[in-house]
Each structure stands twice: as C-alpha cells, then as structure tokens.
A = this chain, B = another copy of it.
Amino acid sequence: MRFLSYLPAWDWLKDYDKKLFADDSMAALIVTIMLIPQSLAYALLAGLPAQVGLYASIFPLLGYALFGSSRVLAVGPVAVVSLLTASSIGAIAEAGSIAYIEAALALALLSGIFMLLLGLLRAGFVANFLSHSVISGFITASGILIATSQLKHLLGISAHGHSLPELLSSLFAGLDQFSLWTLLIGVAATAFLFWVRSSLKALLLRRGFSSALADIVSKAGPVAAIVVSILLVRVLSLDEQGVSIVGEIPQGIPPVTVPPFNWELWKALLPAAIVISIIGFVESVSVAQTLAAKRRQSIDPNRELLGLGAANIASAMGGGYPVTGGFARSVVNFDAGARTPMAGVLTAAGILLATLLLTPLFFYLPKAVLAATIIVAVVSLIDIDAIKHTWRYSKTDFAAMFATIMVVLLLGVEAGVIVGVSVSILVLLWQTSRPHIAVVGQVGDTEHFRNYLRHDVKMLETAIMMRIDERLYFANSRNLEQRLLKMASEHPKLKDVVLVCTAVNDIDSSAVETLERINELLETMGVTFHLAEVKGPVMDKLQRSHLLHALTGQVHLSQYAVFKQLQQAEV
C-alpha cells in the first residue's frame, strides 16, 4: 500500500470503488471492440505484422494508466504515428523483415525515452513551437498520404514510397495487375463504412432506436464489415482468387522483447523519434485537455509526457511499436462513461483476451477491409476548412501551413515538420522585426494619445512621440534605430524624441545597446531622447544597464506628463 501511494496513479486508485469499476468496465468493452480492427489496420499501415498492432494495445495502456494525468485518454496505435513509423523505418529496413520489426521496437523505445526526458525536464513547452497551422497542415497532408498509401490494398497490387509522387507513380506502374475481387471487397467495405459513419446513426434514430443503442450499433459498423468479409472470403475461397488476407496471427500472450541496442540504428532513428514524440504529444495533450475541461478537471502536460513515455517504453518491451493517445477512441471512452485510467487497464485486458482467443478468426480477413477502415478514418483528418480559415485570417500563417502540406506530400513527413517549424519561426521573426510604430499626439485636452495618422490629434513642434507596439529585441532593434534616425535626419527642427513603451513587454540586451546608441547618436544631432510609460519588469531590467545613466532625457511615468513638459518648453 505504501509503495502504491508513490505512484501517480494513486490519485485515483485510493478512492476506487465498485461504482467506478462498473462505469470503467462498460467503457472498456466498447473501446475494445473499436480498438481490435484499428490495431490490426494501423499495424498494416506501419508495415508491421497484424499482431504487433494488438501488442501495442496491451502494455502501453498499462504504462499510461500508471503515470498519465488524464482520466480518460485512450492510448494505442494511431494513424499519423503509424505513417511516421513506416516512413522512418522503411528507409532503414525492408518491410516484413525481422530488422524492420526490431527497428519498430527501437523507435518505440527511443520515443519513450525522449518523452520521459522531456517530462522529467518539464520541457513540454517544446511542443509549443509547432503552430496550429503547421500541425493542421501536417495532419491534412498525412491524411492524404495515408489514404493514398492504402489504395494498393484496395486494388490488390504492390506499391511503395513515402511521398505522393513516389506513391502515385508506383501505383500507376502496378495498375495492370489489379485484382478484381480485392477491388470489389475494398470498394464495398469503404462505401459501407462511409455510410455507417455518415448516415447509420440518424437512420437508427428515425427507426425509433434509443440514442445509446444507435451509437453502439453504428460504432460496431467496422466489426460487421470484418465479419461479413471474413465469411465471404472463407465461403468463396477468395484467397485463392488473389484476395490478400491477414493470414496467421500468432496466438498467445505478447512476447517480452528487448529492442536492439545498436548505436547506428539509434542515430538513424533519432530524428523520427523526436518528431513522433512531439507530434504524438501534441495530439494527445490536446484531446486530453478538451476532455478534462468538459468535467472541469485539468491535466499536467509534463505528467502526460511521463505517461506517454511509459506507454512507449512498455510498447518496446512488449512487442509493439510507437503509440500515443488517439482522438476518436478517447472521445468514445469518454462518451461511454470512463471515469478513471482503470478503463484503459480493462481495455488492455480485453485486447489480451482477443489476442489469446480470437486471432484464428482473423485468418481470412482481407487486407482490403483493413485498408478501407484506415481510409475512412483518415479522410476525416483532411481539413480543407482549416486551410480556408487560415488563408482568410493570416497570409503569413497560411504560408507556414502551405509549406508544411507541400513538403509532406512531395518530400515526406519528417521534412514537412522541419520546414513547417522553420517557416513559422521565420515568419515570427520577420513580423516582429518590422514592428508597428505610431507617432502619437494628444486627443483633445484629454490624457489620451493616439496615432496621428488615424486620429485628429494635437502634436508638438519640436518633439516627436513614438509608440512602438512590440517587445524590443535583436530582430527589431536595428529597424527601430533606422526609423528613428531617419525621422531625426528628416526633421531639422527636432529637439526631443519620446519613445512610448506602453506595449513594450521586454527589452533584451541587443535592444538596450541599440537604445544606448540611439541616445548617443541623437545627442550628436542635438536631440534629447526620452522614454515614457516603461513597464515595471522592463524598468527593473533597465536598472541593470548603462542606458538610464547615459539617457539625455528622462524616463517619464506617463505620456501626458512628458507632453505637458515639452509643450511648456516650446512656449
């Protein structure tokens, strides 16, 4: 008991009772039914044997339950991480080989270690460097790539590649070998699943089903597709007609695995592990936060990293591959009434039971049906509206999004993330390097000051008051200097310049030096330099610089005070 109390999970374990157990069990049952086909399908997407998907849905759930902070997050294989896995391992080992499976274990271990480190260093903030535009562009482009990569299973041909041009040319090259039966099953399954997703629930409700029942029936759609297709293949012996099937899945408990400790391999996988960790974390934390807020709970992002790190390390030790919190399944878990991470533990038990007992049933499952479940799932990731909104709201954010989408599609997922992050940082630097500067004047006889270009304001003859709307730092200090000096050289009568700092949230050491230079250069021009309305924390910093000693003018508390003073000096 004492040992247990040190676990993060003790938070909820200590008050655990039968009522909670009943709720969690119900949620676990529904999530298990949903997770079985998904696990098989995402393993296929990652280029791994089907059972690896099941294994990745057992131990990782226990790891997260022990260390995570969300009550309802459902962890396991997800589409985007599976794509990242396929793309990074595909460059190193051949799909289907032992080396490929081992590399997947190593990738899970590395991602887990990286997440743990980030969590222990409380460095979850690195995820913030991914802007929404970049993430949204990344997910949309990944959705397109994933859907395209699954077309080969629908057509029954072989194709490969990790970018759109590679995939498409490979698909076209193999098009003449397509299998008619596979295509029929694949298209039928895809159409059925789209119909289930879009219309079944409404139909059931109209037929008088209760909302809960309609929900469960429509969630079971994929299961129906699987059962029917297995029976079809078995009865018509379609596997002998060229329909590719899942085949034998080893029955039994997951193996205990040790990822290969190979330095070259680790070095090659490290960039992918970092991308997987950050993308996985961002996705996971955002759904965890949404669900927590709905019950007025909160989550701790750094503990989320520990939970996800533990999940990935557990995955590496239990025959799996990289995992993270899934959006759809977490919402299902929440809606089905999960109350604590015990729901995850029970789901793991459910998947374990399936692995022990049900795997022989999947022998005749056509891969085309798994591909159909993937396609239907990822099409919802493609968010054209987000692209439109971003375009309308900000052209610069759109630039980062567009760069991400194009690079993911044309060069691959990792390059896309790197380019997207670089573009959004460059955009930030570029925008803040050209701050909005307003020359302000007095509004009527009030103490308010406004931009003289937008308002009818009172100005001074020999003084200029400039308000700069940005933190002063290295990227914009030179710009400020140039604009100030240009203005000074254009106004020969100028005697005073006031820099109004109401919106200056920080001044870094480059900017302090620049202000010292401006002060000095204005002095050689015979112009006095003042500051006004410097914020408390910024003033604290300035106290440690030379600027305040050297300043030819003063630091004024308010714009109004300095305006009055300069006005009197003019008279």
Contact = CB atoms under 8 A, between A and B. Distances in A.
Interface of A: 125, 127-134, 289-290, 292-294, 296-298, 301, 389-390, 392-394, 396-397, 424-425, 428-436, 454, 469-471, 473-479, 481-482, 485-486, 488-489, 492, 502-503, 505-506, 508-510, 512-514, 517, 521, 524-525, 535-537, 541, 544-546
Which of A289, A508, A514: most chain B Cβ within 10 A? A508
Contact of A476 (B128, B293, B482): B128
A436 B474 contact: no
Contacts of A396: 508
Nearest to A130: B474
B128 A290 contact: no
Which of A131, A390, A512: most chain B Cβ within 10 A? A131
B129 A475 contact: yes
A541 B394 contact: yes
Given A289-B481, A298-B486, A434-B125, A397 B509 contact: yes
B521 A132 contact: no
Given A131-B474, A397-B510, A524 B294 contact: yes
Given A469-B505, A503-B503, A479 B125 contact: yes
A514 B298 contact: no
Contacts of A297: 489
Nearest to A513: B132
Contacts of A128: 429, 433, 474-479
B469 A535 contact: yes
Contact of A393 (B389, B436, B535, B544): B544
15 contacts: A128-B477, A131-B475, A131-B508, A131-B509, A133-B510, A289-B482, A293-B521, A296-B488, A393-B512, A393-B541, A394-B508, A394-B541, A502-B502, A502-B503, A503-B535
Contacts of A433: 125, 128-129
A118 to B, nearest CB: 14
Contact of A428 (B473, B509, B544): B473
A488 to B, nearest CB: 7
B485 A293 contact: yes
B544 A125 contact: no
Nearest to A397: B509
Given A129-B475, A296-B525, 8 more contacts: A128-B433, A128-B479, A132-B474, A132-B477, A293-B489, A394-B509, A397-B508, A503-B505
A293 B525 contact: yes
Nearest to A521: B293
A524 B479 contact: no
A392 B544 CA distance: 7
B536 A454 contact: yes
Nearest to A526: B296
Contacts of A536: 454
B390 A509 contact: yes
Contacts of A524: 293-294
Contacts of A430: 125
A122 to B, nearest CB: 11
A524 B296 CA distance: 8
Contacts of A296: 488-489, 492, 525
Which of A125, A298, A510: most chain B Cβ within 10 A? A510
A517 B502 CA distance: 29
A509 B389 contact: yes
Contacts of A537: 436
A553 B460 CA distance: 40
Nearest to A473: B428
A477 to B, nearest CB: 8
A437 to B, nearest CB: 11
B545 A132 contact: no
Nearest to A131: B474
Contacts of A502: 502-503
B505 A436 contact: yes
Contacts of A546: 389
Nearest to A509: B397
A434 B128 CA distance: 10
Nearest to A435: B505
Contacts of A503: 502-503, 505, 535
A194 B84 CA distance: 61
Contacts of A301: 478, 482
A426 to B, nearest CB: 9
A419 to B, nearest CB: 15
Nearest to A436: B537
Nearest to A522: B293
A517 B393 CA distance: 16
A420 to B, nearest CB: 11
